[in-house]
Amino acid sequence: MGKTIAEKIIANAADRDSVLPGEIVTCAVDLAMIHDSGGPRRVQPAMEKLGIGLWDPEKIVLVSDHFAPCTDAESASILKLTREWAAENGINNFYDQLGICHVVTPERGHLSPGMFAVGGDSHSPTGGAFGTYMFGIGATDMLGVLVTGKTWIKVPQTIRINWSGELGIGIAAKDMALKMCASLGMDGGDYQAVQYSGTAIERLGMMERMTLCNMAAELGAQVGIVEPDETTATYVTDAGGDPGNWAGFRSDPDASYKITHDFDASNLPPQVAAPHTPANAISVENADKDKIDQFYIGACTGAKLNDLEMAATVLKGNRVATGKRLTIAPASTQILKTATKQGIIEILLDAGASLLPPGCGACAGYGVGILAEEEVCLASTARNFQGRMGASSSRVFLASPFTVAASSVTGHISDPREMLAS
């Protein structure tokens, strides 16, 4: 019987010819990614108490993104501790306030097809866009990885989600992700491996694939993964990485899947998820025109270069509605630099947007841009749980950057296709 990409990567990491779903195996970790919130401040005390060091500093990527830039003495002390730990432990792959870990790690060439990686954050499945088996673990498990270079895993079954057709104008991977959350539920991934396949997936660029794999976490999957292809290899090479024998890490034609779900991208309208779960997604045409106070384009899910391009496409020649605010936090300094060179930032600022420093920002309820009591936000982020972006009484709707940008012009939830068609 053929093997899925997930089974191939796990078998390789476990130094075995093959593995079967349900088996528990020990795997060598190719890369461990940690950030300022769940990294050094969590593992340093335990490492000092145990008197042990890191297994391989060169295989560790550390990013300060959650508390960056600091807004008070407490967050400043967390960043100070992070910098000191990086220096003391010889972490050369330390990216201090250069963007969000899930975006910075691949854009710096650290992820390649066939890798087995872990991250200290629930959205670590973003790495699956690069043909990497990457999943999130907690601080205790991360401590074990950092000092041994290994972790255990129960070999998952693979759920295949097949997307046929082609996305229409004003539709993005974020709409696909919200549609899956609504159709399959927040436990539709069953903590298994979700493999995205089909003609619509093959047509997506790497940043859109990142959005889908990122939000595999919202489906309750352990990983979301896309089979590597020429698009993957080109991105990895351009980022300074080595795509290696990427063709060897594709699922076999006769691989076995737990279940296959079929969706048609050609008939997909823009989606909007009402508070307080991404599973509340419905067509924008059926969404209530709720009063919105803040429109937010940010996070690892929704502020990559292509996301900013989507917003600029809608906002060029338009203005943010009077009395409303559009806040934009690019996902990395590299994205900000490129978007500035391409004139994207100028378009956004001319439309009345406010620009925040790259980082996690308001998405995780840190720093600037968070919501006050009773405020309502339409965001390109992945989650809209109660209190996620600020006060517990605030409410967050989710949508693609196309929809967020279009809605910021009208002042209420609106269909971006109406503006793009004009």
CATH code of 283's domain: 3.30.499.10
Query: Which one of 213, 242, 264 terminates a domain?
Result: 264
Query: How confident is the model at residue 422, as a pLDDT?
Result: 65
Q: Are residues 91 and 151 in the same domain?
A: yes
Q: Are residues 76 and 145 in the same domain?
A: yes
Average of per-residue pLDDT across 92-110: 98
pLDDT bracket for residue 364 (50, 70, 90): confident
Q: List 153's β-bridge partners, or say none.
A: 25
Q: Are residues 239 and 375 in the same domain?
A: no
Query: How confident is the model at residue 61, as a pLDDT?
Result: 98
**What 8-state DSSP symbol labels residue 402?**
H
Average of per-residue pLDDT across 174-182: 98
Q: Are residues 172 and 239 in the same domain?
A: yes
Query: Which one of 233, 264, 295 terminates a domain?
Result: 264
Of 367, 392, 382, the closest CA to residue 297 belongs to: 382
Domain count, the chain: 2
Question: One-letter amino acid identity for 119?
Answer: G
Of 61, 29, 209, 189, the closest CA to residue 131 belongs to: 209
Share of the chain above pLDDT 70, in %: 100
Question: Is residue 421 scored above 90 in pLDDT?
Answer: no
Of 92, 94, 98, 110, the closest CA to residue 30 belongs to: 110
Q: Tell the burial category of 367 from Cβ atoms under 10 Å away from its Cβ (0-12, 13-18, 19+).
A: buried
Query: How confident is the model at residue 366, as a pLDDT?
Result: 82
Structural domain of 60: 5-264
Q: Are residues 387 and 366 in the same domain?
A: yes
Q: Are residues 231 and 357 in the same domain?
A: no
- CA dist 140 and 362 (Å) reads 26
The per-residue pLDDT of the chain, averaged, comes to 97
Question: Is residue 378 scored above 90 in pLDDT?
Answer: yes
Tens of pLDDT, residues 287-328: 988 789 999 999 999 999 999 999 999 999 999 999 999 999
Tens of pLDDT, residues 271-287: 999 999 999 999 999 99
Whether the predicted model's global pTM rises above the 0.75 cut: yes
Question: Is residue 385 scored above 90 in pLDDT?
Answer: yes
Q: Are residues 279 and 237 in the same domain?
A: no
Q: Are residues 59 and 190 in the same domain?
A: yes
Which contacts (CB < 8 Å, 24+ apart) does range 322-326 have? 322/411, 323/411, 324/292, 324/293, 324/294, 324/295, 324/408, 324/411, 325/293, 325/294, 325/295, 325/354, 326/294, 326/295, 326/296, 326/297, 326/351, 326/352, 326/353, 326/354, 326/404, 326/405, 326/408
- CA dist 152 and 13 (Å) reads 10
Average of per-residue pLDDT across 153-182: 98
Q: Are residues 215 and 69 in the same domain?
A: yes
